[in-house]
Amino acid sequence: MSGELEALIIGPGAMGCLHAALMAEAGLEVALLDYRAERAARIAERGIIVEEDGEKRTVPIVCGVDPSTMGSAQYGIIFVKAYDTVEAVTRAVPALRDDASMLTLQNGIGNYERISEIIPPARVLAGTTTTGATLLGDGHVRVAGRGSVQFGSPKGNPRRVRATEALLARGGIEHETTIAVDDVLWAKAIVNAAINPLTALTGLRNGMLVEHDELRELMRAVVREAATVARACGIFVREDIGMMVESICGATAENRSSMLQDVTAGKRTEIDFINGEIARRAEEREREAPICRLLTSLIHGREQAGLTET
């Protein structure tokens, strides 16, 4: 394919496949960028399979590994793991127009800063999504629940925000904008820091973390520590964020967190960009984050065990 694209979705994981499918179904010209040729060929041939509300549907999609053949996109939306950010954005550049916007909806802290070393900062947008999805196979995704995208411009570029808002609206993606981008990203990171490593280490689904007193207290301790670091970084953190984390555990009770899925599959996790990044930023400000640092080390050990087992 070569021509004009409205959006290039970068990363064929659960969220990338789902958003590519939703936008394609809405009639947008979109393509999915992969880095594995065999997987890309399967997705291009078969389409994206979406399971939602007990039904299954297949959405045709353009998918490939060579960005120079993908067309010229006005928007890039990146869903890759945080540790692949720089490589993925660098690879995508040939498929982007010279004035293209780049929106990151990834987990972790520091993604938009790394993207801004490749794409001019005024063109970089960042946010989070509350949609839940599980990848069942190549290009095969199950929707756990439709949520909303919250995003904004870290550099305060309202024109880019308005244009991207229009794109998401046309693509059928629920969304809202914010001027407090860092506050939003940190709130999501605090939630992930409290839930993900504990599920990955115990093998429990999210809801079980609030069913065990010891785990509930440990989760609360992580929230307190991470919130303290965030505030030291000038971030606004709501006072009831601990209650919010527990509420999320209840609302996603049957979910297996992405970090639990990663360690189960013997894959690298995003721990360095969640708890590890929180601990690093604490150290920068001459503060301590011993629980986040400990959880980071334990997950590293779990990763090594998974590599050994596989």
Of residues 146, 145, 32, 118, the one with CA closest to residue 79: 32
188 an active-site residue? Answer: yes
Catalytic residue among 56, 81, 155, 188: 188
Give the residue among 88, 121, 108, 115 at the shortest CA–CA distance from 13. 88
Q: Nearest to residue 163, comparing CAs of 111, 123, 116?
A: 123
Question: What is the distance between the alpha carbons of residues 292 and 271, in angstroms, rounded to a whole number?
Answer: 9
3-class SS of residue 223: helix
- Cα–Cα dist 198/272, whole Å: 15
Q: Measuring CA to CA, how many Å separate 148 from each of 105, 145, 177, 235? A: 11, 10, 10, 22
Catalytic residues, by residue number, are 188
